Structure 1
């Protein structure tokens, strides 16, 4: 029993530690990519090519003196941080990095992700509930409405994949793509899923809840020093999660691009680790290349433009097996 518990703890640490390191260096990569798009150098002082800058920033946050907010309930504020950060880690329990390389190879992988992403809104709502600042309350309301909208839109996209596979297990979804990646037959919804990723993770150009111009960072305005680290880290962890989800659903997960010996010699986890950073690079490039939407534009785009096509695609994909007697 003790060995079983130790094994589970080792698997959990094997996920959390690389994830936290990935979050730290994703911040550095974002700054470097945005600097290159603007013909700047970005981080280049601390460590080789500025690679140790995230560690220096974390140390700076830890050694500075914290100043608690006088207008907020400190306990609820801390609990909101814990809820937000923990839920960003719990979602990784069902994400496979290779065949059999997963903490919980459950048949409820998709519902698990839906549940954790939905519960994440409550942590942000707690922040707005205990704060007396109008900018925080405005940012929280924007965040909640935006999450509801784009989760409603992402749901039908994932349902199209489930209809094709007939399983909610991520490993089975990946293995169903041996012949062809779902990004090809389901190309329209895969592009919509890619577009929804910034809105789901509250990243530019879909980040009105944190807009500096009118909301002065929104729900983050009261968090500073180490209090700012959990929500910020959770946001970057969700970026990695959404890129991993896109890889599993539409890019074949750990499967190779072509059935060639050169690709077969690479382990599945390495192939998975190549696809996810590629999607993260496009993520960051979009943030640097496009300006922020106004909040009314973002909501109108979600409800009137992006919501109907996924629903129509669900009807289309579910109607093909019925019309041609073709089991999904």
Structure 2
């Protein structure tokens, strides 16, 4: 993939565009396929935990085409729009929310050779770009000209800022041990010992903060149905609403992949099992992380807004700061 990136930089005009499409279209297809069946898998997992069957009609016994049918329904559904909405911003908001979720994927390495951009500051790029989705949420709330939507957008901003801080600080310990912000280097440094063993506190803080960043249960306050109807996207329908949902699941893909890279050793195999391909190891670790996110959604109740903010600032932030100090001392003494 690196030679494609170099060729892309050198190729002028139309040839440049063709190389760009050759890379982005397969990546987009993979992501859309993941989203389609991640939704199905989540419904199946939650159904199993709650002693239900889940989808089992469209697409045979396992409902393999249920999500496809749901997507087709959304695409042909009427696109309603509030009469007094800010039309340009209302149309742009779903795009602003989706584009960053797709853009961060280019910096996440799947294997040593399967990566689009091997950036020296890959971790910094991922964290910086992922925060841009907040703009789409608050823009959707503001442009809808609806008080519930605006409250949902403001909640999203407050929540994502509150948990972005401990998320970043919990990753500092990994950077200290790896000595680099390059995600490929971070994986290579875990060839023998994954950082989840050296950074258990950082992993726990990062995982909790990532759950809040994804707006998933128990931190799904921006979409609290009992309080805000549907939050910042209450006035959206059809394919525009689908774009918000698509961005959430693309972020689930990206964040699960990032956790795999930072703490689970990425594509590195368990010692003695190196004969299994790298991509299989990455997919296995990645799938476990996605399953845990789904498991949590089926298990934990939603927090109150005040509990959400207090937990972020009074618990996660001090713990993340302690982890930085502890990691620095540990590295100085033993590494």
TM-score interval for Structure 1 and Structure 2 normalised by the shorter chain: over 0.9
One of 308, 311, 322 as aligned partner of 1:298: 308
Aligned to 2:319: 309
Query: Given the alignment of the two structures, is residue 205 of structure 1 paired with residue 218 of structure 2, yes or no?
Result: yes
2:249 aligned residue (213, 216, 236): 236
The superposition leaves residues 243-271 of structure 1 with CA deviations (integer Å, 9 ceiling, x where unpaired) of: 111100010001112x22xx322221121
SS at match of 2:131: helix
Query: Does 1:12 find its partner at 2:31?
Result: no
Count matched residues: 322
Q: Which runs of 5+ in 2 are unaligned?
A: 1-10
The DSSP-based 3-state class of the residue aligned with 2:132 is helix
Distance 1:245 1:225 in 2: 30
Matched with 1:27 is 39
CA distance in 1, matches of 2:296, 2:330: 34
Once residues 234 and 20 of structure 2 are traced to their aligned partners in structure 1, the CA distance between those partners, rounded to angstroms, is 37
The equivalent of 2:58 in structure 1 is 46
Instruction: State the shift of 1:308 in Å.
Output: 0.3
Find the aligned partners of 1:108 and 1:25 in 2 and give their Cα distance. 32
8 A contact 1:61–1:226 mirrored in 2: yes
> Is 1:165 aligned to 2:178, yes or no?
yes
- Does structure 2 retain, via aligned residues, the 8 Å contact 1:12–1:103? no
- Comparing 2-11 with 154-163, which one deviates more in the overlay? 2-11
Deviation of the 1:5 alpha carbon: 4.7
**C-alpha contact (below 8 Å) 1:87/1:120 kept by paired residues:** yes
Map 1:271-282 to 2 at 5 A. Answer: 271-282=281-292
* RMSD of equivalent CA atoms: 1.4
In the alignment, the residues of structure 2 paired with residue 79 and residue 217 of structure 1 have an alpha-carbon distance, to the nearest angstrom, of 19
Instruction: Name the structure 2 match of 1:73.
Output: 86
Residue pairs, 1:140-159, within 5 angstroms: 140-159=153-172
Instruction: Provide TM-score, normalisation by structure 1.
Output: 0.94
- Partner in structure 1 of residue 129 of structure 2: 116
Q: Determine the C-alpha separation between the residues in 2 that align with 1:106 and 1:250.
A: 19
Listed as ranges, the gaps of 5+ residues in structure 1 are none
Greater shift in the superposed pair: 180-189 or 191-200: 191-200
Where do residues 118-267 of structure 1 align in structure 2 (5 Å cutoff)?
118-257=131-270, 259-260=271-272, 263-267=273-277
Render the CA deviation track for 1:20-71: whole Å, top value 9, x for unaligned. Answer: 1101111111111111111111111111310111110111112222222213
* 1:4 CA displacement: 5.8
Residue aligning to 2:4? none
1:98 CA displacement: 0.4
**Secondary structure, aligned partner of 2:265:** coil
Cα distance in 2 for partners of 1:20, 1:168 equals 28
1-side partners of 2:124 and 2:202: how far apart? Answer: 19
